[in-house]
Structure 1
């Protein structure tokens, strides 16, 4: 298939429509499940949940969302060297669907003779399988979008913009559907809806795979091949079965393992990963300029952790606040708490084009901030959002009993945080591709994804940190004020470091 022969999808290759819808359904699956996770874990036994303490539920959420950003590094490497993107996407899609259905099964077993231990084993296996499947799916569908275009094709940036809109459409719709079903009908129906979305995305990818031509086929396959062979499907099913079996083995074995052994394994894996990345950087970086630019990526990766440690309160403390402190009644109808998880995606779709125009307009006037300053803007928006959130929490809990407050408070916080995300997230991805040495783009992107993973886990621990500080200082510390102050300090540090980091970028804007 010629890359320019078909422009049937908004002036872009028809294959973009295949990848757009597949990713939309995958994000529908992921964000629907994510919106339910903490609420399900903390729900009472009687309602089918696990009645888990908030801090424990936050930790599980943090581990899950953190590992979701780590496994794509492995999945991308396997696709490049062994599987190809197309087989990896099928493996990821089928595996994630199984993971979602296992979560649904865990909820469905409530009220039966099944033990709580069995339900938890199935649930944790479902989470592990979702994490593994995401590693196969997520990096490779994005790679295939890039392969639809030649490097000098002016449509390429626009193609990724359309693809990004698909991500956010899925993220917007999923809490409305899966969240509503899980929260107000039965938990299993929410997870079932998420799994169904993943099946739809995988089936769509299969039915429309002819639009992709040779793109994404396994390495060393002849160029005239545009469909997978029978042996490829056997290989796919073998990987799916292997992943599911491995995760169950790990879940069952981990519980029987002495804690000292499991701790040693975690340290070995962490240290091994750090040494591998460090060795890759040393081998692939040459000259003072490249080392200077790599230094900028590493410094901003640290600040990226602080941003996401605040932003990802959306799935933890904000989710609980929506459930317990927000007036969700409109007449006799109650807004599901999970629906607030859709607000960020709606704002992204609404404001992302405006921010793109803003940077172009500022650049024409020589007022476009450099990358570190845009990071400072993002941290400032995050800090202001948490000031609003802290005030809302005080108004809700200031009296002798909880006072339900207007949902517009959360809507305002999400808007400010979305502005911060648009100043930082796409800018950071672009920065990594521009500053990385040519041989290290994938490695440095892996490190950047690692900072997202760290930020997600730290986010899950912020409430616990505030409680520990309360105990140590013997004074009340509200978590939202703590994050607001932290974010403001980071913003000031970024402003002060901006001239130095700009010089280290050696002419890259």
Structure 2
């Protein structure tokens, strides 16, 4: 990773300045690495902790996991809007890191479980969208040739943190005690926050509003106020839930999910909707509406992918814990370690897929974005075919070898590389410029809905006679085939002028 202290956008005439990354990229790389270390370390342990330590039933543990991960993908829409209008991105990121750090440490105390999860959800909303946006602000020119490389470096930080977190926090949690694992996640977030503040001078003006200075001691009251306010909000929300929760719980599972998505999604759209009276606002043209609707249609299909993929921290984590022979001589491999396979494969194969798509796009065998994503869904479904075979062996009374889960995680990651980067690129390129940020937020609603659905899926299938993994295989493959069949008209609408 090369850096330079030349101011962003400076025209020094030195050709090296066109290839060296700005110094701020290393700050955001390590901040995101430590934040993802804390998030994935905690996520790797959550379901195992709920079932094995707190005595949660399998259904309740998976449901809480689904609600938590679903809300994690919703709050960045609000946190981004608050940063744009009130706080500025850098201060919002510091507040988010502080709130998440408190949440991770609170996980070490059983009575604070729900408060801790609430703090992690709120803190993520402040941190995640703003550090990501700050990467782009390191480059003054939209056509800066270093921009794509900067995001690639940032993406590697995400996967580096995701790789090490199950190995460190997972090992501590399963071998020494659950609270050691959660504490390690909190320490990781504290390191990331301290490093971000210490090295923020390298960020230049990235993440600051025009009137703002870098975050310093003078901002401590504001940071404490927002962090304390986040805690009060979480406590108040939990108290309110005690009143409405019993009524909500009487609805069928699918009704609960649809109502939650409608209420939360409606509230978010109301918060972030553009002001129709603002200067420069123009209604979308018919062609632009076509592009927006096409993105939303693909988004609905993508829910099928993430519903299956996010079993990794839920049912597949329990399968690793309960149905997998993890002994290597006298050492028992922690169940959480399997969740390090995904980031490891991403780091290894992402450059190869980037070259593959480039070669294909330049040949007569070019595949449209929707067709690539359809293939990703089919590949995910094939992974669940393997998973169904492993489950069948486990149901016969024997623990299966570790290679079964390793193969499934590898296949699923290949599917992810076909779908996730392609989808993000598609939205940024296809969405009309005036609503591109909003559409990116809408795109992440598919992950929010899918994460929630993933937690409830097994419970929804109870009594139906349908097993989870065969259903997910058919669900993903069927969605992929259907998306492939309608890909041509979708591509046509996406390229309409």
TM-score by length of 1: 0.89
Query: Aligned pair 1:22/2:12, yes or no?
Result: no
SS at match of 1:104: coil
Q: Structure 1 residues 502 and 451, CA, compared in 2 at 3 Å: closer, same or farther?
A: same
Query: Aligned pair 1:71/2:75, yes or no?
Result: yes
Tell me the equivalent position of 2:22.
13
Query: In 2, Cα distance between the equivalents of 1:135 and 1:151?
Result: 26
Query: In 1, Cα distance between the equivalents of 2:293 and 2:332?
Result: 50
Asked if the contact 2:75/2:124 (under 8 Å) is kept, the reply is: yes
Residues 360-509 of structure 1 correspond to what in structure 2 (within 5 A)? 360-398=358-396, 402-470=397-465, 477-506=466-495
SS at match of 2:486: helix
Q: Which moved more, 1:337-346 or 1:402-411?
A: 402-411
Query: In 2, Cα distance between the equivalents of 1:441 and 1:171?
Result: 28
CA shift at 1:284, angstroms? 5.9
RMSD: 2.4
Gaps of 5+ in 1: 44-48, 107-118, 471-476
Query: In 2, Cα distance between the equivalents of 1:77 and 1:171?
Result: 27
Query: In 1, Cα distance between the equivalents of 2:391 and 2:181?
Result: 28
Q: Structure 1 residues 10 and 28, CA, compared in 2 at 3 Å: closer, same or farther?
A: farther
Asked if the contact 1:285/1:291 (under 8 Å) is kept, the reply is: no
Query: In 1, Cα distance between the equivalents of 2:202 and 2:242?
Result: 46
Query: Aligned pair 1:146/2:173, yes or no?
Result: no
Query: Aligned pair 1:319/2:313, yes or no?
Result: no
CA shift at 1:478, angstroms? 1.7
Query: In 1, Cα distance between the equivalents of 2:263 and 2:409?
Result: 36
Q: Which moved more, 1:254-263 or 1:301-310?
A: 254-263
Residues 307-346 of structure 1 correspond to what in structure 2 (within 5 A)? 307-346=305-344
CA shift at 1:370, angstroms? 0.1
Query: In 2, Cα distance between the equivalents of 1:355 and 1:466?
Result: 35
Asked if the contact 2:27/2:196 (under 8 Å) is kept, the reply is: yes
Query: In 1, Cα distance between the equivalents of 2:319 and 2:283?
Result: 46
Q: Structure 1 residues 433 and 285, CA, compared in 2 at 3 Å: closer, same or farther?
A: farther
SS at match of 2:158: helix
Tell me the equivalent position of 1:90.
94
Query: Aligned pair 1:3/2:8, yes or no?
Result: yes
Q: Structure 1 residues 258 and 180, CA, compared in 2 at 3 Å: closer, same or farther?
A: closer
CA shift at 1:396, angstroms? 2.1
Gaps of 5+ in 2: 1-5
CA shift at 1:100, angstroms? 0.5
Tell me the equivalent position of 1:215.
206
Deviation string, structure 1 residues 25-59 (Cα, Å, up to 9, x no partner): 0000000000000000001xxxxx21011111101
Deviation string, structure 1 residues 226-264 (Cα, Å, up to 9, x no partner): x23544221111101111122123223432557448999
Asked if the contact 1:305/1:455 (under 8 Å) is kept, the reply is: yes
Tell me the equivalent position of 1:112.
none
Deviation string, structure 1 residues 347-403 (Cα, Å, up to 9, x no partner): 1101001000001111221322101101111011011100011111112222xxx21
Tell me the equivalent position of 1:130.
120
Q: Structure 1 residues 258 and 27, CA, compared in 2 at 3 Å: closer, same or farther?
A: closer
Query: In 1, Cα distance between the equivalents of 2:87 and 2:75?
Result: 16
Asked if the contact 2:291/2:496 (under 8 Å) is kept, the reply is: no
Query: In 2, Cα distance between the equivalents of 1:266 and 1:405?
Result: 37
SS at match of 1:21: helix
Query: In 2, Cα distance between the equivalents of 1:278 and 1:198?
Result: 28
SS at match of 2:207: coil
Deviation string, structure 1 residues 322-365 (Cα, Å, up to 9, x no partner): 11111100000000000001110101101001000001111221
Q: Structure 1 residues 284 and 50, CA, compared in 2 at 3 Å: closer, same or farther?
A: farther
Deviation string, structure 1 residues 390-439 (Cα, Å, up to 9, x no partner): 111112222xxx21111111111111111111111011111111111111
CA shift at 1:277, angstroms? 8.5
Query: Aligned pair 1:272/2:261, yes or no?
Result: no
Q: Which moved more, 1:283-292 or 1:176-185?
A: 283-292
Query: Aligned pair 1:255/2:267, yes or no?
Result: no
Tell me the equivalent position of 1:113.
none
Tell me the equivalent position of 1:46.
none
| Number of residue-to-residue matches in the alignment | 476
Asked if the contact 1:9/1:17 (under 8 Å) is kept, the reply is: no
Tell me the equivalent position of 1:115.
none
Q: Which moved more, 1:32-41 or 1:149-158?
A: 149-158
CA shift at 1:268, angstroms? 8.0
Q: Structure 1 residues 245 and 148, CA, compared in 2 at 3 Å: closer, same or farther?
A: same
CA shift at 1:9, angstroms? 13
1:58 to 55, 59, 62: 62
Q: Structure 1 residues 38 and 261, CA, compared in 2 at 3 Å: closer, same or farther?
A: closer
1:34 to 19, 29, 43: 43
Query: In 1, Cα distance between the equivalents of 2:88 and 2:463?
Result: 47
Tell me the equivalent position of 2:3.
none
